Amino acid sequence: MRLYDVMRLAAFAAATVLVAQPTLADGSHKIGSPAPAAKAGRTVEVVMNDNYYGLDALAVQPGETIRFVVRNDGTFVHEFALGTPEMHAAHQKEMAMMQEHGMLTATGMNQDMKGMDHSAMGMGAMTHDDPNTVLVEPGQTAELVWTFKSPMTLEFACNVPGHYESGMVGTLTVAPPTTK
């Protein structure tokens, strides 16, 4: 077999493995899953401003489904993302790339760029559609409904470049209720 054929076969095998395995780039399978609003046991209103949330911390129970109603009272686009610090760090890189290429602006998504093929730039699909995240433009409201999996400490954060670093992050504790 020629080297060229071996390389083609290896590339095909790698692509097949990647396609065959279910993946969630956002890591949501580790922290829970999206849910329909009808399953929510309670609603939590989250108000965002430049650059902070109206709440610093939140406690939920394992298995609990929460309907987050997220309102942006700021003048900049903000994000409400559920995840671990590692998930946020990875997402921040994606958001920085989106901003570098003009898809993400200070006030929202550049709708003219949504349909572009970004694969030539080495970026693959450039979208903002992770199930554990909502991007909310100024004056707008969005909803995220989430069922939390097991006890852990998470963060809710805005990963728009510079926002997390300026303190737009809070603690989300998933733990059973304490008895007294």
Its pTM surpasses 0.75? yes
Per-residue pLDDT tens for 20-52?
223 344 455 789 999 999 999 999 999 999 999
What is the chain's alpha carbon radius of gyration, rounded to the nearest angstrom? 19
In 3D space, the residue among 159, 139, 152, 166 whose CA is nearest the CA of residue 98 turns out to be 159
DSSP bridge pairs for 171:
57, 155
Q: Between the CA of residue 24 and those of 8, 59, 131, what are the distances in Å?
A: 27, 25, 9
Dihedral of the alpha carbons of 31, 168, 97, 116, in degrees to the nearest 10: 80
Per-residue pLDDT tens for 96-117?
998 998 889 999 988 766 554 4
CATH class of 25-174: mainly beta
Contact 72, 141 (CB under 8 A): yes
Domain boundaries, the chain: 25-174
DSSP 120: G
Tell me the two tokens of residue 24.
């969630």
Query: What is the amino acid identity at position 166?
Result: S
